[in-house]
Chains A and B, each alone.
Chain A
Amino acid sequence: MADFETPEIKEFIGIPALQEGSMAHSSPFIAKPDHQESLGFPGELVENWQQVALEKMDDLRTRYRSFQVFLDSCVKCGACTDKCHYFLGTADPKNMPVARQDLLRKVYRRYFTVAGKYFPKLVGAADLTEEVLDEWYSYFHQCSQCRRCSVFCPYGIDTAEISMAAREIMDAVGKGQKYCNEIIGKVHTIGNNLGLPGKALANVLEGLEEDVEDDTGVAVKFPLDVKGADILLVTPSADFFAEPHIDGLIGYAKVFHETGASWTLSTTASEAGNFGMFIGSYENMRRVSMRIRDAAKELGVKRIIFGECGHAWRIAYSFLNTLCGPFDFLDQNYPIPQHILEYTWGELEKGTLRINKEENDHMTLTFHDSCNVARGSRMGDYPGGQFDYPRNVIKAVCNNYVDMDPKTTKEATFCCGGGGGLLTDDLMEIRVKGVLPRATALKSVVENEGVTHMAAICAICKSQFTKTLPYYGFTMDQIVSVHQLVSEALVMKGSEQEAELDGTDGDDTEE
């Protein structure tokens, strides 16, 4: 592990003075040949890589309007320069969104525009050299594709689109990232990012059934591969073993149980996450998505519901219909796909769930809007529903809730610092520095409003926070899943909690 200094957490999120090259050393491990090849990319850097890279760039700009328009339109106004969490945490000017884009734009200008061909110095165009490729590799893996810059750009230029294109170009020349490409390979072959085989999954679920029964006295099922179930639940595989993710999964199961839903998980679609988006690969993103369509068809379900996962929900909400629709074989009376929070909030509104908010009284909650949910998707049928649904659910199950600084929530939310394929140990420095803006906002509500816990609805956010917030003096258990809160407060029929609450428990209520 490389040595680095954890930035000092200040009272406010400040704009740092530039420190050129301060993160130039940050680079993730390069994918091994077999990981590359299994995704259809060259195993290692090809000999004529410049030519291949430029051809790929040319190909992408004819297939993606975003790429072409964004490359042309930037006027270098500077509006985005203080918006990226990685810039705010590292002070490296190449982490300013426009500067990050320019690493690629200067090459585009050099080879594809009149100005750059004849007056490269004048317009800041540059040759595609090995140094440039190395810079791409470094700085396009310091972007979590969170889209915060796109909110503030007067032309809506989204650096995520540029990063995805850059990574696709790098994959095409044989310089892919190990973390993403290895994981995509696992999804293709095994069905989830962790490489958790069906048998292990079944064991985990069985263990959970026992735990919940011990805890509540109710036999809550965690069904797997049940044909003919109504609902297919697709959730990030971290939900099967990581903390606090797994407490969220228990929450989904209890809600399904209590509402009498017929549901199932699937071995082959035991992963909501889709790293195909991180590497900008339409083809891989589609292949990963097709598992879900295939599983839904095979199991004969009527609905698909996604668990708490940020990027997964963006892909599910925004892309799934495009990639592998139409879903005419599902029940059209429900959103396709649906978010678990849409389901749970619907049930809470109907009043089908009995809630004892006091169970969560030992906490004061705040909520971290996950970047890809906030800026790349929606919940419900009106714009901004993605902000209300999680808050509505939290407030329905907790008495103490406080929002963080509005400059850091909703559409202006900061990424956790681990999204977009950066959630790997070889990028720990950028992850720790990238969480600084969120940590600063959290610290403020902790000190001024008595907040004790922060809830999240994304597997990556939860993993990243539990790992990096301790660098700033927080503890791992301050991060909770939203459905964990639901799980705590839900009073299931016939449960020990119900008996205790209603005093029908008999012997031990007289204290």
Chain B
Amino acid sequence: MSGFIAALLWVGLVVFVGFTARKIRQYWKTPAPLKIPTTPAPVTQTGVVFRMAREVVLFESLFKSNKWIWVFGWMFHLGLLLAFFRHLRYVVSPENFMWPVISNVIVQSFGQYAGFAMVAGLFGLLARRIVVERIRYISSPSDYLMLLMLIVIGVSGLVMSFVSHIDVVQLKMFVMGLFGFDFQNLPESGALLIHLLLVVVLLLIFPFSKLLHAPGVFFSPTRNQIDNPREKRHLAPWAAEKYNDHVDK
């Protein structure tokens, strides 16, 4: 069983990294032929960096739009981030220079309790999807399933953290072994099995689903373009090739 999970995790990781990288490459290579920042927009590159930072860290536009979605969405994402930091203790060895930070009690306990924020946020989002008629209308089965999957990942994690503890030393040996191709046994735990299997599913669907919003937001022309079309001529390669013959005239 442990070998099977190890293999699945590897497949999941490879698919996730490979296909997400392919998507990012696609976004990168596809030109934005026209200046379309949603104005008012920053007029400098620094301004754009700040705008994007506010968007990614604070969900600025969502805040303007709908406070409930913002509260739940932000709780979930922040919880996820903190929980992610906590999980680094399984992949970083004590000799690593990052260890003092990762093993810090603040990072670890924030990460532990962040799981509650994460699950609460997800339940809030799910409730809105079911209760609000407009959001129910635009939802596909996959939209519900993704929330449920994340909820189960979160809850199974919380179970291991607060209810039925697992042998974390054994788990760390498994994870370190995973990366060193020295496969170790997983601790016996139903919650862990569910947790890991669903993480594999998450990794597998990420590059093929709406989860691409994570890299996508950085490439959104309405948010990442500088508002300077009068000052600087913006021309896409395909347009330069096909629609620029007046310049030589």
The segment from A23-31, A179-187, A224-232, A282-290 that touches chain B is A282-290
Contacting B32 at CB < 8 Å: which of A65, A154, A381? A65
Given contacts A63-B31, A293-B246, A382-B43, contact A317 B230 (CB under 8 A): yes
Considering the chains assembled together, what is the distance between the CA atoms of A121 and B140 in angstroms? 8
What sequence of 0s and 1s flags, for each residue 364-381 of chain A, a beta carbon within 8 Å of any chain B beta carbon? 000000000011111001
Q: Is B45 an interface residue (CB 8 A)?
A: no
Considering the complex, give the chain B residue whose CB is closest to the CB of A412: B64
12 further A-B pairs in the complex, CB-CB below 8 A; given A66-B222, A74-B210: A17-B133, A68-B27, A69-B219, A79-B62, A79-B69, A154-B59, A282-B243, A321-B230, A335-B230, A336-B230, A378-B40, A411-B40
Q: Is A266 an interface residue (CB 8 A)?
A: no
Whether the pair A115, B128 counts as a contact (CB closer than 8 A) is: no
Using CB atoms, name the residue of chain B closest to A115: B208
A80-B222 Cα distance, complex, nearest whole Å: 15
Closest to B66 in A: A79
Q: Known contacts being A322-B235, A411-B40, is A153 close to B23, with CB within 8 Å?
A: no
A314 to B99, CA, bound (A): 53
Q: Closest Cβ of chain B: how far from A131's Cβ, in Å?
A: 18
B66 near A113: Cβ-Cβ < 8 Å:
no
Complexed CA–CA distance, A290 and B247 (Å): 11
What residues of chain A lie closer than 8 Å to B230, measured between beta carbons? 317, 321, 335-337
| A323/B243 in contact, CB under 8 A | yes
* Residue among B55, B59, B229 making CB contact with A322, cutoff 8 Å: B229
A78 with B138: in contact, given A73-B216, A155-B220, A156-B222 (CB under 8 Å)?
A: yes
Q: Are B209 and A321 in contact (CB under 8 A)?
A: no
User: Does chain A have a CB within 8 A of B221?
Assistant: yes
Q: Within the assembled complex, what's the spacing in Å between the Cα atoms of A376 and B141?
A: 35
Query: Which of B26, B223, B230, B234 is most buried by chain A, counting CB atoms within 10 A of its CB?
Result: B230
Q: Which 7 A-B pairs rank lowest in CB-CB distance, beginning with the nearest?
A: A124-B140, A73-B216, A156-B222, A152-B65, A383-B40, A78-B135, A79-B65
Residues of B within 8 A of A283 (CB): 243
Judge whether A102 and B42 touch: CB under 8 Å. Answer: no
Q: Which residues of A contact B233 (CB under 8 A)?
A: 321-322, 325-326
Q: Which residue of B lies closest to A63 (CB)?
A: B238
Q: With A76-B140, A78-B128 in contact, is A93–B222 under 8 Å at CB?
A: no
Do residues A156 and B40 form an inter-chain contact, with CB atoms below 8 A? no
Interface residues on B, range: 35 or more
A46 contacts chain B at the CB level, 8 A cutoff: no
B17 at the interface (CB under 8 A from A): no
Please provide the chain B residues from 35 to 80 with a CB less than 8 Å away from any CB of chain A in the complex. 35-36, 38-43, 47, 55, 59, 61-62, 64-66, 69, 73
A122–B188 Cα distance when bound, in Å, is: 33
The answer to whether B229 touches A321, judged by C-beta atoms less than 8 angstroms apart, is yes
Contact string against B for A residues 318-338, beta-carbon threshold 8 Å, 1 for contact and 0 otherwise: 110111111000000001110
List, in ascending order, chain B residues with CB within 8 A of A113's CB. Answer: 208
Given A76-B210, A78-B69, is A374 in contact with B62 using a C-beta cutoff of 8 Å?
Answer: no
B-chain residues with CB within 8 Å of residue A15 when the two chains form the complex: 134
Closest beta carbon of chain B to A386's beta carbon, Å: 7
B66 CB to nearest chain A CB (Å): 5
With contact pairs A78-B66, A335-B230, A375-B39 given, residues A150 and B222 touching in the complex (Cβ less than 8 Å): yes
Taking a contact as CB atoms under 8 Å apart, the answer to whether B62 and A77 are in contact is: yes
Q: Which residue of B lies closest to A319 (CB)?
A: B34
In the bound complex, how far is the Cα of B132 from the Cα of A76, in angstroms?
13
CB distance from B152 to the nearest CB of A (A): 17
CB distance from B222 to the nearest CB of A (A): 4
In the complex the two chains form, what is the Cα distance from A282 to B243 in whole Å?
A: 9
Contact B243 A66, beta carbon cutoff 8 Å: no
Whether A322 contacts B34 by the Cβ 8 Å rule is yes
**A 19-45 binary contact with B (CB < 8 Å = 1; else 0):** 000000000000000000000000000
Q: Mark B197-232, 1 if CB is under 8 A from A, else 0.
A: 000000001001110110011011111000101100
Question: Nearest A residue to B59 by beta-carbon distance?
Answer: A154
B143 within 8 A of A: yes
